[in-house]
């Protein structure tokens, strides 16, 4: 397999945003028990803990409503960098929170940002990767989410909520550093009529002998796509789109109905109630591995 290592580096750099997504998703597992016990500067009730766990998902809903338009307007890479700055703000709020309202706001912000980060990263990787390694690079993003869940549990189980949050700030900072100098997606440039910049971007991601052919292929495809823009109602009226919507919705609902979110949010609590002779910390790390 002929691998373009610059594409791999770009994927690794932006995938750190997906790693943060995994960390935020699994954050309640090691943190909520500490907040309930009062070992943190803020002590919460069981009802507040329930709302704190799902606030991330509520934020994701609102973020999803605007993420698509923002990505197409500002670009995939700029959205990833914006997400990193927003993640930094969310972690800082968690680290220095002195009231439960700040915890709620931080979790909502993290969820809202997650919609931008996850969408922009998957689009960016899909648009810069060669077809023969696109699946490989795309699957790496799914692995990165799991790594993020493992990391936040490994940190949170043994460190305080504040210390975990402060350490976690380094990840979005790393994203900004690693993304410095990366070009925007050539697809985005062509879509906005910035052809010279698109060619410069392709020169970074593709071999020089295929840049012109790739540019013409993308431009033809995008021009055709722009001419035949669909309507929102087409999702329900066109059989192909309707079938796709049903499949995706069914799979997404099935994932939630099996309780994956609840298990992830309360992993430490669940294993703490087991009388197995093995510490809950070990079980949590094994589970998230």
Q: Which residue has the higher pLDDT, 228 or 185?
A: 185
Q: Which residue has the higher pLDDT, 264 or 139?
A: 139
Lowest mean pLDDT among 78-92, 131-145, 185-199: 131-145
Residue 58 has pLDDT above 60, yes or no: yes
Given a contact cutoff of 8 angstroms between Cβ atoms, the answer to whether 186 and 215 are in contact is: yes
Residue 40 has pLDDT above 90, yes or no: no
Given a contact cutoff of 8 angstroms between Cβ atoms, the answer to whether 71 and 79 are in contact is: yes
**Average pLDDT of the residues in 9-35:** 91
- pLDDT (0 to 100) of residue 4: 79
Per-residue pLDDT tens digits for 109-160: 999 999 999 899 999 999 998 888 888 888 888 899 999 999 998 898 889 9
Q: Which two tokens stand for residue 138?
A: 């795309």
Backbone angles phi, psi at 34, to 5 degrees: -65, -40
pLDDT band for position 265 (50/70/90)?
A: confident
**Average pLDDT of the residues in 222-231:** 75
- pLDDT (0 to 100) of residue 269: 76
pLDDT band for position 278 (50/70/90)?
A: low
Residue 94 has pLDDT above 70, yes or no: yes
- pLDDT (0 to 100) of residue 1: 54
Given a contact cutoff of 8 angstroms between Cβ atoms, the answer to whether 162 and 178 are in contact is: no
CA distances from 199 to 10, 211, 274 (A): 17, 7, 58
Given a contact cutoff of 8 angstroms between Cβ atoms, the answer to whether 265 and 53 are in contact is: yes
Residue identified by tokens 């493992």 is: 150
pLDDT band for position 233 (50/70/90)?
A: confident
- pLDDT (0 to 100) of residue 230: 66
Q: What percent of the chain has pLDDT over 70?
A: 94
- Average pLDDT over the chain, rounded to an integer: 86
pLDDT band for position 225 (50/70/90)?
A: confident
Residue 54 has pLDDT above 70, yes or no: yes
Lowest mean pLDDT among 46-50, 112-116, 241-245, 262-266: 262-266
Which residues are within 8 A (CB) of 230 and not within 5 positions of it... i.e. 6 or more apart?
A: 238, 241
| CATH architecture label of 5-182+230-288 | Up-down Bundle (1.20)
Residue 2 has pLDDT above 70, yes or no: no
Rounded distance between C-alpha atoms, residue 196 and residue 186, angstroms: 10
**Average pLDDT of the residues in 247-276:** 76
pLDDT band for position 209 (50/70/90)?
A: confident
Backbone angles phi, psi at 256, to 5 degrees: -75, -35
Residue 183 in 3-state DSSP?
A: coil
Q: Which of 117, 6, 133 is nearest to 64 (CA)?
A: 117
Q: What percent of the chain has pLDDT over 90?
A: 40
- pLDDT (0 to 100) of residue 168: 95
- pLDDT (0 to 100) of residue 165: 94
**Average pLDDT of the residues in 28-40:** 85
Q: Say what the pTM is.
A: 0.86
């Amino acid at each position: 397999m002929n691998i373009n290592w610059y594409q791999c580096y770009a994927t690794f750099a932006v995938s750190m945003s997906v790693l943060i997504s995994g960390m935020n998703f699994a954050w309640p597992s090691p943190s909520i028990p500490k907040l309930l016990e009062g070992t943190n500067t803020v002590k919460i009730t069981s009802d507040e803990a329930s709302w704190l766990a799902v606030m991330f998902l509520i934020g994701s809903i609102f973020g999803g409503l605007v993420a698509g338009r923002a990505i197409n307007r500002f670009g995939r890479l700029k959205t990833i960098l914006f997400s990193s700055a927003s993640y930094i703000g969310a972690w800082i709020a968690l680290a220095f929170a002195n009231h439960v309202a700040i915890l709620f706001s931080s979790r909502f912000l993290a969820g809202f940002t997650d919609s931008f980060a996850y969408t922009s990263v998957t689009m960016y990787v899909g648009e810069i990767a060669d077809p023969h390694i696109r699946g490989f690079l795309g699957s790496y993003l799914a692995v990165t989410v799991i790594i993020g869940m493992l990391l936040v549990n490994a940190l949170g189980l043994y460190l305080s909520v504040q210390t975990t949050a402060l350490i976690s700030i380094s990840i979005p900072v790393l994203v900004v550093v690693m993304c410095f100098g990366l070009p925007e997606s050539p697809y985005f440039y062509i879509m906005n009529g910035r052809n010279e910049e698109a060619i410069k971007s392709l020169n970074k991601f593709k071999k020089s002998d295929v840049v012109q052919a790739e540019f013409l292929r993308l431009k033809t495809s995008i021009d055709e796509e722009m001419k035949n823009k669909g309507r929102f109602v087409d999702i329900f009226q066109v059989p192909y789109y309707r079938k796709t919507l049903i499949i995706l919705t069914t799979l997404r609902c099935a994932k939630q109905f099996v309780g994956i979110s609840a298990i992830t949010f309360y992993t430490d609590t669940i294993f703490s109630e087991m009388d197995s002779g093995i510490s809950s910390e070990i079980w949590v790390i094994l589970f998230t591995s």
